[in-house]
Amino acid sequence: MRLKSFIDVPEDSHFPIQNLPYGVFTSPRNPEPHIGVAIGEFILDLYQLDKKQVFNGTHLRGKQVFLEPTLNAFMGLGKAAWSEARQQLQELLSADNPTLRDDIWLRDQVLIPMSEAQMHVPVHIGDYTDFYSSKYHAENVGTMFRGKENALMPNWLHLPVAYHGRASSVIISGTPVHRPQGQVLPADSNTPVFNPSRLMDYELEMGFFTGPGNALGDPIPVDQALDHIFGMVLVNDWSARDIQKWEYQPLGPFLAKNFATTISPWVVTLEALEPFRCPTQEQNPQPLPYLQLARNWSYDIRLEVSLQVENMAESFTITTSNFKYLYWNICQQLAHHTITGCNMRPGDLLASGTISGPEKESRGCLLEYTWRGTEPVELPNGKHRKFLQDGDTVIMTGWCQGDGFRVGFGECRGQLLPAKPVG
């Protein structure tokens, strides 16, 4: 029998009782940030429930992690506590359970309409790392810049390439982003100029938040990695391609990426994603033992990127991709990141890199999709896009399709505003 909530949730909602993702919100009634769980069109206020000592199981009793303004403390408790919370919330929201269903006062207190809430970055992100784990993406970009023969760097098939990103500029879906200004090298010139980026791009990514983490010097083995991963979000790694091209040698991208990274507000737990595990591409050559999985696997998460452009009634879907297209698995990413002893803390964010698939339609950024601007996207209103223009809104979404329900991520949305005048 399918799990069902007393709260009405349509089949295409991202937030049925099978999901129960965590976020942090404020509302007119609760101006202080509270932790909540999404259910249909509502947010269940865990702060209020924790105040009422609802979480009285073995792992959560007395911990008061839901009185915190971020998810870090809960993430730090580990898998047994995450499972306990999920089970208790599913019981509380189930159609059979009268506790909340039949208590009109309690419902009014703990169920907040999403339309009244403002979402916030739900985690204090200690460190943010960005991988480069789609082989299709790496090959496309490599082909454009170095030709087909040298598309993949020699290390790419042996390790999940990554770099450190900027944690301070991770922002929540809905926050507009100003076009950045910086140094770029004009074509046919040896001297850089300063101007607003002309090659603004999105990158379709997903990211996971770490759980308890490891002490400095003690790597997380690949077969224990899932004990240290709490859940996932959508990520838009905004990129200024012209700034990137000029600055990135030899130490990697810096200003071209650190002005903004947008995440979706609801952290979907690995437990909710578990039914959507799927086998994925074999890895060849076989990785070194510290990266070996019995078999490569992923999650079947459908992903879309749409563009909402001025004078267009509806948004237009450009990219249709899937999380399963990634070559490197999340357990391998975490094992690799910690193999030299680097320590993870609860709430670190590890993003996937652009998630491109085998088809043109599944290319996860405009650089690839338009092949450096040589194949512009044609929009339904007759306009074209090589890269983003001021006023464009990028909307990413993703969900797993169950039998009559979806486990979804909601939206990761952001509008590009014109560059600010230099002060």
Q: Which residues are catalytic?
A: 137
Told to check if 258 binds its own copies by CB under 8 A, we report yes
Q: Which stretch binds its own copies (CB under 8 A): 13-21, 214-222, 354-362, 384-392?
A: 214-222
Contacts of 146 (CB under 8 A, 6+ apart): none
**Binding region for its own copies (CB under 8 A) out of 35-43, 49-57, 167-175, 298-306:** 167-175
- Pick from 168, 284, 311, 374: which binds its own copies (CB under 8 A)? 168
- From candidates 106, 159, 309, 379, binder to its own copies by CB under 8 A: 159
**Site membership for its own copies, residue 249 (CB under 8 A):** yes
CB of 221 to its own copies, least distance (A): 6
Would you count residue 336 as binding its own copies (CB under 8 A)?
yes
* CB of 69 or CB of 221, closer to its own copies: 221
Tell me how far apart the alpha carbons of residues 130 and 113 are, in angstroms, rounded to a whole number: 34
CB of 146 to its own copies, least distance (A): 9
Omega prior to 192 cis, within 30 of 0: no
Can residue 253 be called a binding residue for its own copies (CB under 8 A)?
Answer: yes
CA distance 335 to 321: 25
With CB under 8 A as the contact rule, the residue among 57, 69, 78, 126 that binds its own copies is 126
**CA 416, 112, 81, 296 torsion-angle sign:** negative
Closer residue to its own copies in complex, CB, 20/416: 416
Positions that interact with its own copies (CB under 8 A)? 126-127, 132, 153-155, 158-159, 161-169, 171, 177-178, 180-183, 185, 190-194, 197, 216-219, 221, 240, 243, 246-256, 258-260, 285, 288-290, 336-337, 339-345, 348, 420, 422-423
